[in-house]
Amino acid sequence: MQPILLDTGGAAQPGEGSVLLLVTDLELPLERDAVGALQLLGLSPAEARIADLVGSGHPPKEAARRLGNTEGTVRFSLNQIYRKLGISRQSELARLVARIQATGI
């Protein structure tokens, strides 16, 4: 699956006025987990695991413990994740992860 972000112009904030188009080869098996879908959106595998945990409601400290990282590393990674996804808050990440999980991408 290949993500294509289309900017429709006139956006007041990053991510507004944009459309995410996912193009896939129907002959290939579809990735059906949030981590895989987050990687398709441009996150590294490590960033995708952090985004999945924090976006699913785990505090950064708990995500760090589960992944064997420091809380500082997770918080630094979250800033990179937000920048890559064009978001600025944990609530926006939670909404994105919930949408991915609901659609089974």
CATH code, 96: 1.10.10.10
At 74-104, the pLDDT tens digits run: 999 999 999 999 999 999 999 999 998 888 6
Other CB atoms within 10 A of residue 57 CB: 11
| 61 in any annotated domain | yes
DSSP 28: S
Range of the domain at 53: 30-103
pLDDT in the model for residue 9: 62
The answer to whether 60 and 75 are in contact (CB under 8 A) is yes
At 8-65, the pLDDT tens digits run: 665 555 556 666 666 666 665 554 578 999 998 999 999 999 999 999 999 999 999 9
Q: What's the number of domains the chain is made of?
A: 1
Tell me which residue of 95, 13, 15, 3 sits closest to 54, measured CA to CA. Answer: 95
